[in-house]
Amino acid sequence: MSWIAIGVTADIPLRGARCVTTPQGPIAVFRTVENRFFAIEDRCPHKGGPLSQGIVHGAQVTCPLHNWVISLETGMALGADEGSVRTFALKVEGEKLLISSEALARRTA
Amino acid sequence: MNKKERLVIVGAGMASGRMLEHLFETDPERFDITLFGAEPRGNYNRIMLSPVLAGEKSFDQIVTHDAAWYDAHQVECRFGETITRIDRAAKMVCSASSETPYDKLVIATGSAPFMIPVAGRDLPGVMAFRDYDDVQAMVAAARKKGAKAVVIGGGLLGLEAAAALRLYGMEVVVLHLMGHLMERQLDAAAGYLLQKELESRGIKVHCKAQTSAIVGHGRTEAVLLDDGTLYPADIVVMAVGIRPEARIATDAGLHVERGIVVDDRMLTSDPDILAIGECCEHGGICYGLVAPLYDMAKVAAKTLTGVEAAFRSIETATQLKVTGVSLYSAGDFADAPDREDIVLRNSGAGIYKRLVLKDNRIVGAVLYGETTDGAWYFDMLRKGTDVSEVRETLIFGQSRQGGASLDPMAAVAALPDDAEICGCNGVCKGKIVSAIIAKDLTSLDDVRAHTKASASCGSCTGLVEQLMTLTLGDKYNPGAVQPICGCTTLGHGDVRRLIKAKSLKTIPAVMQELEWKTSCGCAKCRPALNYYLVCDWPDEYADDYQSRFVNERVHANIQKDGTYSVVPRMWGGVTSAKELRAIADVVDKFHIPTVKVTGGQRIDMLGVRKEDLPGVWADLGRAGFISGHAYAKGLRTVKTCVGSDWCRFGTQDSTGLGIRIEKFMWGSWTPAKVKMAVSGCPRNCAEATCKDVGVICVDSGYEIHFAGAAGLDIKGTEVLGVVKTEDDALEHIVALVQMYREQAHYLERIYKWAKRVGLDEIRRQILEDPQKRKAYFDRFAFSRKFAQVDPWSERVSGKDKHEFRPMAAIGFPVVAEGAL
Ligand code: SRM
Ligand SMILES: Cc1cc2nc3c(=O)[nH]c(=O)nc-3n(C[C@H](O)[C@H](O)[C@H](O)COP(=O)(O)OP(=O)(O)OC[C@H]3O[C@@H](n4cnc5c(N)ncnc54)[C@H](O)[C@@H]3O)c2cc1C
Ligand code: SF4
Ligand code: FES
């Protein structure tokens, strides 16, 4: 797997998110209160809401449009809602954040 | 091994759900239970479908038995499976895909909505109002812009559907066959008041309407009446009545009349088969309200476990569950020679009460507009109390009897122990009070769980709460009933109190001290805590932006496509050529697709790309604009009319006062949004009487109003009082809002807060106590020093830069820096 640098940890506020644009659409990169980092597709499985704009709590984000809660670890919608988003491997090297190059590949399945 | 008896239940509705509860209370081990339900879900409180349709409750809130409950009681659930046949010889029930043997069978199939047999009734778009699927279909249709609905049937169900659909902005017509609405429960006079009320909400009511056909190509387009009237309709809701769902019983050769005939023990003509609920008929009566069905459920559980019990028919009372309409009806009030009427009419106040007496006993009661005495009359009706002693004052209600005070609490205190409080579940006062004491119940939810009182239609919630206050005194704190969210057991009231009492000044401190169950809260509690801290420690607390909803974080309103809208302040709705020109330039420069005049007297630019926001704000800022906080739990707009400056009726400078209030109060965060208006005279062109706070200028000064609503609920304002000068008006309004800021629960609008704390308490503190008023005013003035910083110009100067641009762009062809 090859990795692409997207920035440094300080770019993202604690319990916050930023987005990375790609030709396949935006990816949301999150930083949790425990300083864990996750990257998922920035498109809510409900109606496409921008997850990077949601409130981050635990390892979850609440979509800003209609409050679906998405797990950052699995990309699955939690609670009564059903759906999932793609997740992407992310690596922290010192200060640097790197995302797996599959982020550039189209979804195949 | 001792093999258990097999109990099969057909129909997972309200009656069978209640029967299972009784069964598990008394003999949980007796049966292996299989529960079939045609709906793809377990039991829920069907009564509450109306509030769900109206958007006042979510479906989750009305589920009475969830998967965990069935699991814990080892009920094998076969939801989504319809039983098509009972094989009594083989003792089996059959569906399309299975055959299941039983030792005992309970039929609880409820009713089927009656669909009037007119041409077109099979067209898509024609629906009933019976289950959650119907509700979902209606909501989907109602969401379409400009959609129209025709509701056939002006009874309870039809009107609840019509009122709810109207809330979505649908054009709604109610067709009713009889001369007045709800003729089974109401007499003509009350029917007329109800019709007027519905018409004032924009619902058209057509009585004596004989439907002749539903017309449309491929789906409903209109409803045609006998007299040739044609009402366009995207959906047609049939609510003309129900029929006991007895088909499988008829086919199996059981004794069926209108419903499945049962004896006092709920046994059908086959001793191994019971029937309960709306599908059955007892003593010649089929019931359509839950109170008797719950009694049936109790009796059936006993019969199944071999305990003697007998069902007795009971009187029922009904209420219409339409927010803002109070209507109560019980017993029988058809005219008859041996009956007398006592009627009280006050059409100005929209009140109508009628009692029907026979031999000095109440046999029927209709209350419209004011229904607090319903329980009292119904109690006398059920008991056949002789009312000759109190006849003269009877109609004025319980509080006017024998010198008792007008206090509703005293009225509840005066009720006898066996007075029925909850009609749905047949729970009397004594039972509630003793459960509260014996089980040490302190929350409404606990009382519901233990006694079932107010757990069905909820219309007696007020009475139950009064009983709790009566029994527990200060120990009962209705505010503590609901925890803020799953992260804590505390309610908003407790959290607010403890933040102050323990001097908690950060979100982590609150979570630590108050034992939050999650590591960093959730999207529900964090914004609430952030607000409480901002409000309580204005100079010390550092706002936690990550705990704000995106709109308040980026100071614009997110739209469905992820773009934003921008609404600059236009003080009091007044603008100028220079401002309009600046807006026009911004719209051109940033290619903003939509510009709209809002309902709040200002201009909304919609469809702005997030990256463009700082640029848009920079240009607007140069023209003198600041953020309009159209996204904030804070002061939105102060609408004004032209007032004494121009209008020939204007008594005071309403425009000037509106601008003054807006300039004084903008920027401060509040529990929910706050909207105000100032009208120059009682003609009220600024619509001040439906706002959170409103002012009506009069010759002698300023009439201050508050606690109005015109969104999800519609409610006229209450008058706080009249003051003489503009300064007085400002001081009262600011003090009132500060009191609200300090006391309300997050997301609670002023009208809800005022209802909770009491209008008199607010008048006492704000109008009658100058010292308190001054103190509130000063606290607002202090906190506003930290709040009146224009968020747009802050961001134009670089604050939160990261919010407005992507962290990186990958996989795109490389471009030179300057071109980006
Ligand atoms: C733009 C505007 C409609 C318009 O085109 O006229 C509007 C637009 C929205 N309203 Fe409104 N409301 C607008 C006037 C109103 C009014 C009329 C008024 O203010 O005189 C009401 C009824 C009065 C009231 O506040 O109750 C109104 C009652 C609501 C409600 C129901 C609130 C309630 O508690 O009952 C919501 C939902 C909410 O706040 O939870 C809402 C929510 C919204 C939101 C914020 C929905 C959302 O969460 O995204 C809409 C944002 C659109 C946007 O991006 O601008 N809007 N909304 C109006 C902006 C006024 C302004 O200048 O700021
Ligand atoms: C919108 C609405 C508002 C109401 N408001 C009130 C109110 O304010 N007060 C009041 O007292 N009552 C009210 N009612 C009436 C109340 O809901 C009913 O009286 C009650 O639900 C009847 O209970 P039940 O168990 O007999 O039938 P239901 O609750 O209807 O349950 C029967 C279940 O059996 C299923 N079923 C039917 N046939 C089969 C089959 N062959 N195989 C498997 N499953 C089957 C059905 O799908 C249904 O789920 C209201 C009803 C509605 C629809
Ligand atoms: S602007 Fe207001 S009324 Fe219109 S759709 Fe949005 S929330 Fe509903
Ligand atoms: S788009 Fe995310 S919850 Fe609806």
Give the end-to-end CA distance of chain B in Å, rounded to a whole number. 79
Task: Give the CATH number for residue A12.
Answer: 2.102.10.10
DSSP symbol at B393? H
pLDDT at B813: 61
- Cβ pair B669, B534 in contact under 8 A: yes
The answer as to whether A78 is a domain residue is yes
**Angle, helices B726-743/B770-787, rounded to nearest 10 degrees:** 80
Render pLDDT for B180-195 as a digit per residue (tens, 0 to 9).
998 887 778 788 889 9
Helix (H) / strand (E) element for A2: namely: none
All CATH 3.50.50.60 domain ranges in chain B, comma separated: 5-112+244-304, 126-240
Is A15's CB within 8 Å of B558's CB? no
**What is the C-alpha separation between B165 and B147, in angstroms, rounded?**
10
Give how far B561 is from chain A: nearest CA, Å: 7
Look at residue B427 in the predicted model and tell me its pLDDT.
87
- Distance in angstroms (rounded) separating the CA atoms of residues B657 and B640: 8
- Predicted ipTM of the assembly: 0.68
Say which residue, B266 or B714, is predicted with more confidence: B266
Contact between residue B480 and residue B490 where contact means Cβ atoms under 8 Å apart: yes
Tokens of B88: 């009594």
* C-alpha–C-alpha distance, residues B111 and A5, integer Å: 64
- Are B579 and B571 in contact by the 8 Å Cβ rule? The answer is no
Lowest mean per-residue pLDDT among A88-97, B330-339, B684-693: B330-339
Residue A68 lies in a domain: yes
Q: Give, in words, the CATH class of B552-631.
A: alpha beta
For residue B174, give the amino acid letter.
V
**pLDDT, tens digit, 9 for 90 and up, residues B660-681:** 999 999 999 999 999 999 999 9
Q: How far is the CA of B160 from the centre of ligand 2 (A)?
A: 16
Does residue A32 belong to any structural domain of this protein? yes
In a domain, residue A88? The reply is yes
Ligand 2 geometric centre to CA of B242 (Å): 10
What's the rounded Cα separation, in Å, for the pair B506 and A37? 24
Residues of B in contact with A47 (CB under 8 A): 560
**Binding pocket residue ranges, ligand 4, CB within 6 Å:** A 44, 46-49, 63, 65-68
Most B CBs within 10 Å, among A51, A53, A98, to test the B interface: A53
What is the residue with the minimal CA distance to atom 33 of ligand 1? B711
Domain B639-787: homologous superfamily in CATH: Sulfite Reductase Hemoprotein, domain 1 (3.30.413.10)
- Residue B195's nearest CA partner among B169, B219, B175, B225 is B175
> Is domain B5-112+244-304 annotated with CATH 1.10.3720.10?
no
CA A47, CA A49: separation in Å to the nearest integer? 6
Confidence at residue B819, expressed as pLDDT on a 0 to 100 scale: 38
For residue B283, with 0-12 CB atoms within 10 Å meaning exposed, 13-18 middle and 19 or more buried, which class applies?
Answer: exposed
Rounded Cα distance between B190 and B154, Å, is 13
Q: What is the mean pLDDT of chain B?
A: 90
A20–B550: do the CB atoms touch at under 8 Å? no
Q: How far apart are CA B546 and CA B527, in angstroms?
A: 9
Chain B contact set for A19 (CB, 8 A)? 806-807
Distance CA B368, CA B327 (A): 5
User: Does residue A24 fall inside a structural domain?
Assistant: yes
- Give the span between the Cα atoms of B286 and B246, in whole angstroms: 12
Q: Please compute the mean of the pLDDT values over residues B412-431 and round it to a whole number.
A: 83
- Of the listed ligands, the closest to the CA of A42 is 4
* B752-782 per-position pLDDT tens digit: 999 888 898 999 999 999 999 999 999 999 9
Letter string b/e over residues B775-796, b meaning 16 or more CB atoms within 10 A of that residue's CB: ebbebbeebbebbeebbbbebb
Give the CATH fold of the B126-240 domain: FAD/NAD(P)-binding domain (3.50.50)
Ligand nearest to the CA of B561: 4
Residue-range definition of the domain harbouring residue A10: 3-104
Joined together, the tokens standing for residue B803 give 């919010």
Pairing of strands B203-206, B260-261: unpaired
Q: Can you give the pTM of this predicted structure? A: 0.53
Q: Which neighbouring-strand residues pair with B63? A: B44
In a domain, A95, yes or no: yes
> What is the per-residue DSSP string for B240-297?
S-EEE--HHHHHTT--BSSSEE--TT-B-SSTTEEE-GGGEEBTTB---SHHHHHHHH
The answer as to whether A109 is a domain residue is no
Domain with CATH 3.90.480.10 in chain B: 552-631
Of residues B750 and B448, which shows the higher confidence score?
B750
Q: How far apart are CA B378 and CA B23, in angstroms?
A: 30
Of A19, A49, A53, the CB nearest to B806: A19
Chain A: nearest CA to B613, how far in angstroms? 15
What's the pLDDT at B588?
97
Q: What is the mean pLDDT of chain A?
A: 90
**Chain A residues with CB-CB distance to B802 below 8 A:** 11-13, 18
Among B55, B243, B234, B219, which residue's Cα sits nearest to residue B136? Answer: B55
Residue A51's nearest CA partner among B523, B593, B164 is B523
Q: Of the residues A40, A46, A53, A70, which should be mutated to test ligand 4's pocket, given the most ligand atoms within 8 Å of the CB?
A: A46
Number of structural domains in chain A: 1
Contact between chains at A6 and B560 (C-beta distance less than 8 A): no
The predicted-structure confidence for B474-496, as pLDDT tens digits, reads as follows 777 665 557 898 888 888 988 99
Neighbours of B816 (CB within 10 A): 6
> Contacts of residue A34 in chain B, CB cutoff 8 Å?
519
- Sheet with B31-37, strands from edge to edge, namely B75-79, B31-37, B5-10, B104-107, B273-275
Nearest CA in chain B to A20: B808
The chain A residues in contact with chain B (CB within 8 A) are 4-7, 11-16, 18-24, 26, 29, 33-34, 47-50, 53-58, 60, 62, 64-65, 67, 69, 80, 99, 103-104
Query: Which residues of B fall within a CB distance of 8 Å from A12?
Result: 802, 807
Beta-carbon contacts of B189 under 8 Å, excluding residues fewer than 6 positions away, are: B343, B345, B352, B354
pLDDT in tens, B559-573: 999 999 999 999 999
Do B607 and B559 contact (CB within 8 A), yes or no? yes
CA Rg value for chain A: 13
3-state secondary structure B339-361: EEEEEEEECCCCEEEEEEEECCE
- Please name which of B662, B782, B653 lies closest in space to residue B730, comparing C-alpha atoms: B662
- H/E segment holding residue B509: helix B507-513
- The confidence band for B1, taking pLDDT boundaries of 50, 70 and 90, is very low
Name, in order, each residue with C-beta under 8 angstroms of B392's C-beta and a sequence gap of 6 or more.
none
Closest CA of chain A from B462, distance in Å: 31
